[in-house]
Structure 1
Amino acid sequence: MLSYYTKRALTNQNDTSRAMAGITRRIAEAMKCNFFQGLPTVMFDRFAIFFQYGSVLHRRASFPSYSWTGWRGCVHMDLHTASAIEASNEWLRDRTWIVWYKRNPSGITNLVWDPDANLSFPLSDMEYVGYRRRRPFSDGRYVPRQLDTRRTMPTEQVSFSQEVPSYPHAAFLDPFAVLQNL
């Protein structure tokens, strides 16, 4: 559905979220979650993976680049590889480890997916796709075992050398490790 919508040329580029608001609201009700910058918070990682389809993408500066809303042109998401509910839940459990935060323009930081802020999401009902319990790096192959991979909230104090955009930023802890003997 998104690829059909993003093919359209909007007269006012700032209408990109408003034009999808009705559809987004229905999807949010069905998924029992909130949306953040056009992406469902309950599976943010999955929807942040998108690519151009049949046309070149151009930046839409008034929206974030991590979302389809930040781009003009036909945007596509390859969700068919995890179309089954069980496969999607497994992908979120086993293939995601970033804990996403959002920082609003005033500097307040909150989780993108916060179960306490999404009380309607049925955590125990596996018929709904979404984050449940996230595992730290389980096998040690990609990150040394001594590296702490617990949730770490971004610092509150941020200094920007440029004007802060009006949309919320996505932030995450970026663990750095030197990989050897691969």
Structure 2
Amino acid sequence: ALYRGAEILILDEPTGVLTPAEADHLFRILKQLKDQGKTIVLITHKLREIMAITDTVSVMRQGTMVATRMTKETTVGELAELMVGRRVLLRVEKGQSEAGAVKLSVKNLTVKDQRGVTMVDDVSFDVRGGEIVGIAGVAGNGQSELLEAISGIRHAVSGEVMLDGKP
């Protein structure tokens, strides 16, 4: 877009697959483009990004523009409230938790897609009561096949899935 002389860049969730360091590098580049007179529209739900790089922020909720603020005159708390329509607790005080017994056990799981391509290769993990486990990756990297195999929708090539000690 820049090579073709674009003066306005519209970026929709540009940091979705970036590490925080990569996002910071992108922000430095965007600030340079701003200094060159380019206009940048950043679409994101990440409040850290909004506060770090924007001059003005507009908030949409359910397809309607509900507010526009100068970024330096607002707070993360106000933006979160505008986004969801009610006060939001951004910090939750909680005590130490203790993990319980293993509820889900996945051992040496291998799963192939419809074409016979290995999408999950020898994955093992346990999830205990009281834990939250996240599975992250770029779309198409096996998360769907893993979840389908764990839930019994898709048959694994090899490995085992145990729920409360039962296959």
Q: TM-score if structure 2 supplies the norm length? A: 0.24
Q: TM-score if structure 1 supplies the norm length? A: 0.23
Say which structure, 1 or 2, has more relative contact order (CA 8 Å, 6+ apart): 1
Find the structure with the greater CA-based Rg: 2
Q: Which has the higher strand share?
A: 2
